[in-house]
Amino acid sequence: MNASLKNKGLGKGLSAIFSSTSRVTAPLQRSVAEIEESVAREEVRHVPVGKIKPNRYQPRREFRSAELEELADSIKKYGILQPLLLTQESADTYELIAGERRWRAAQLAGLTEVPAIIKTAGDLEKLELALIENIQRQDLNPIEKAMSYKQLIDSFALTQEEASKRLGLSRSALANTLRLLNLPDVMQKAISDGELNEGQARALLALESLPEQRQALFDQLIQYKLPVRQAEEAVKKIKAGKPLKMLPDFNVQARVDELQQLLQTKVDIQWNGKKGKITIDIFELDEVDGLIKKLR
């Protein structure tokens, strides 16, 4: 790797990731300060990618290929601008604490070594640092966050109160996220895949004692992409003893797919059974003329 790229900007992202520090506890703030001091003292080492293994506490479960390839292209041009954080497991083996996405992308980019800071850290700190990095970057989907919080609590026998303090979250925010794991697997997958947002998921959680009605509402949320407010209104009616109104059979996703193929851009349809809207994404004004021609 070009020497000018090796050290360019190393460590500059750490404060942005970890430091809005109402979210980060004092021990982690000290850890971040140590890392930044290491960068300032030029204690960044270059470690062969083949000697690094993933963090067994990594909260992320999915690394999207397109995003990794985009990062790999950036690394080819500019190098790795922020060092990985590792612990040394043996004479020639290292474990990631933070930076697995950069490590994977570096391999795609054909790098044989990566810049890294070697730190001594216990299991709890490894998990916390990996969690905070991902949470601050908003890389985790809601289910990954919930599973990470549960892992932190279960692995280290923490109460929800203790875990929320370590993560800089309110106890209610932590508890609400953990509750997502009470949903059936198919609903959790829909959340992970971005088909449901957290507001819609909370509406489903309110029907935990009414599984049939919850399933019916879930089907409508997926099929019609109902907004959160309408989902909450449906929950109120169900709890008041009114059955969920059956909407006409209309496969929204099939129409989305067909329009996207026709227009060659991202399309979204929202439909509540009576009215709806279609959103078409454009990235340049010139695209509008092309869309008009296709719609004629």
- Give SS3 for 265: coil
Q: Name the CA radius of gyration of the chain, rounded.
A: 23
Catalytic residue among 100, 128, 133, 144: 100
Q: Taking the CB of residue 50, how many other CB atoms lie within 10 A of it?
A: 11
Burial of 58 (0-12, 13-18, 19+ CB in 10 A): buried
Closest Cα partner for 278 from 266, 289, 264? 266
Here the contacts of 74-77 (C-beta below 8 Å, separation 24 or greater) are 74/105, 75/102, 75/105, 75/106, 75/109, 75/111, 76/109, 76/110
Do the beta carbons of residue 190 and residue 197 sit within 8 Å? no
Q: Is 100 a catalytic residue?
A: yes
- Bridge partner residues of 47 (DSSP): 114
Which among 5, 10, 7 has a CA at the least distance from the CA of 36?
Answer: 10
Residue with tokens 């985009």: 70
The residues carrying an active-site annotation are 100
